[in-house]
Amino acid sequence: MQTIPMMIDGAAVAGESRFGVIDPASGEVFAEAAQAGPADVDRAVAAARAAFPGWAATPDGERRRLLHALGDALEAHMPELMELVTRETGKPLAGLAGIGAGMEVGGAVAWTHATADLDLPVELIQDDATARVEVHRKPLGVVASVTPWNWPLLIAVWHVIPALRAGNTVVLKPSEYAPLAALRFVELASAILPPGVLNAVAGGGEVGAALVAHADVAKIVFTGSTATGRRIMQVAAGRLKRLTLELGGNDAGIVLPDVDVAAVAPQLVAATLHNNGQTCACLKRLYVHESIYDALCAELARLAGGLAVGDGLAPGSELGPLQNHRQLAIVEELADDARQQGARFLCGGRRLDRPGYFYAPTVIADATDAMRVVAEEQFGPLVPVLRYRDVDDAIARANMSDSGLGGSVWSADAARATALAQRLECGTAWVNAHGAVQPDAPFGGVKQSGIGVEFGRHGLAEYTALQTVKVAKA
């Protein structure tokens, strides 16, 4: 059985023990990861702290070169990393609409290279006879990265690469449900970066708690649930640690009556069901005008009911299993609640009778805002479709949520849709698309969906502190 170690100060560490990683397609353990103890966390943070002065002082061009080399290493190991991602998350190699393990690893490569080329130039405020005033961006120190199980490699890259680009050092703690690809990423990086610059520890919540509470951690970047984000924020407050939190989403999409139902339905299926809905910025609530409601519901159900659900390693699979048994139980509970409240299930609505954590893609008609499947983030293959008559009412209902990660408007009139999208209370608003992110555009949430942004110069700046330098002139 394959075992992937932790990496501390450039060396592989077996840890106090090992823990099993389950293949969600079978429900069986297929590999192991090294289990960290408190001493491992202390050693990893100490290594990152010791490496920080040298890495921060490394010439900018050299840091850029090393990060590009890391992107090349990820690309060279794509088949291996894709298989690890599929085995530990369940997502197919290709996936619905091409959103699968191949996209995850390919995206990690692209994000690494794009982020390596970002700059934060010195800002000149004043330069006259009295003084020269400049604003510099300086690295913070040790960054603690805590990543989730739904996109384990890509989100690790989203956290780690800008932190390193800015001159920080990092300790990464991946989810215990899907730690393997992230640990392998750090193992590859350790052959390229100086020792201690990037470290990894593995284990459950107790490891993450020890890491984020560590006195020598200057910043925490976390992607995951809002509840966990709140706890991290409480811990960070004690030492005023910097934070970037990308938390839960309950993204709403509003479909205007002028759309071509046959053309828009495949896009909506992909936006709602890719990765089994286990993406923070999946489309999770669909508000459809009453004039096209029945027609669009029927087309969504036809498409969703025909999706190929199977082992992610099997050719042709569009959707795999849910990643873990706890998430499967949540999906079943939300579906049962909607059924009891009178919702119509147009397809799916059941666990599949096979090993693993498979649930049929499900379209739910006659959903209401009061149903849990609408009010809560499903993080599963459930698509609640809600009816509206007046678009102002639809926007108000979309904005009732405590979440504010993303939202979208779908229309043949792009100008009108853009104006409506700007009324949505969310960090990113899409028009005739949903969930598409890119490495040069900031992404983050409002309300209970997080603090700070990632990607591009705005995201890179989150890993720095401002220093104003004023030089008085005679």
State the residue range of the domain holding 52: 2-246
Q: Which of 264, 359, 347, 285 is nearest to 321 (CA)?
A: 359
DSSP letters for 384-418? EEEEES-HHHHHHHHTTSS--SEEEEE-S-HHHHH
Q: List pLDDT tens digits, range 131-156.
A: 999 999 999 999 999 999 999 999 99
Any domain includes 284 = yes
Taking residues 252-279, report their average pLDDT: 98
Residue 16 has pLDDT above 90, yes or no: no
Same domain, 148 and 172: yes
CATH classification of the domain holding 82:
3.40.605.10
Query: And the tokens for 468?
Result: 């104003």
Residue 1 has pLDDT above 90, yes or no: no
Same domain, 191 and 258: no
Band (pLDDT 50/70/90 cuts) for residue 87 is very high
Residue 429 has pLDDT above 90, yes or no: yes
Same domain, 319 and 217: no
Same domain, 72 and 178: yes
Same domain, 341 and 235: no
Same domain, 201 and 288: no
Same domain, 329 and 284: yes
CATH classification of the domain holding 292:
3.40.309.10
Residue 112 has pLDDT above 90, yes or no: yes
What phi, psi does 170 have (nearest 5°)? -135, 145
Same domain, 216 and 277: no
Any domain includes 140 = yes
Same domain, 134 and 155: yes
Residue 76 has pLDDT above 90, yes or no: yes
Residue 366: per-residue pLDDT: 98
Band (pLDDT 50/70/90 cuts) for residue 474 is confident
Last residue of a domain, one of 209, 228, 246: 246
Residue 325 has pLDDT above 90, yes or no: yes
Last residue of a domain, one of 212, 246, 280: 246
Residue 376: per-residue pLDDT: 97
Residue 230 has pLDDT above 90, yes or no: yes
3-state helix, strand, coil in the chain (%, to 5): 40, 25, 35
Distance in angstroms (rounded) separating the CA atoms of residues 285 and 48: 42
Any domain includes 143 = yes
Residue 305 has pLDDT above 90, yes or no: yes
What is the chain's mean pLDDT, rounded? 97
Any domain includes 474 = no
Looking at the chain, the whole-number percentage of residues with pLDDT higher than 90 is 99
Any domain includes 403 = yes
Looking at the chain, the whole-number percentage of residues with pLDDT higher than 70 is 100
Any domain includes 139 = yes
Quick check: 105 and 147 in contact, CB under 8 A?
Answer: no
Last residue of a domain, one of 211, 227, 246: 246
Any domain includes 343 = yes
CA 402 to chain centre: 19
Residue 469: per-residue pLDDT: 98
Domain count, the chain: 2
3-state secondary structure of 460: helix
Any domain includes 473 = no
Quick check: 288 and 386 in contact, CB under 8 A?
Answer: yes
Q: List pLDDT tens digits, range 385-419.
A: 999 999 999 999 999 999 999 999 999 999 999 99
Same domain, 277 and 391: yes
Catalytic residues: 246, 280
Same domain, 112 and 240: yes
Same domain, 20 and 121: yes
What is the distance between the terminal CA atoms of the chain, rounded to a whole angstrom? 71
Taking residues 335-354, report their average pLDDT: 98
What phi, psi does 400 have (nearest 5°)? -70, -20
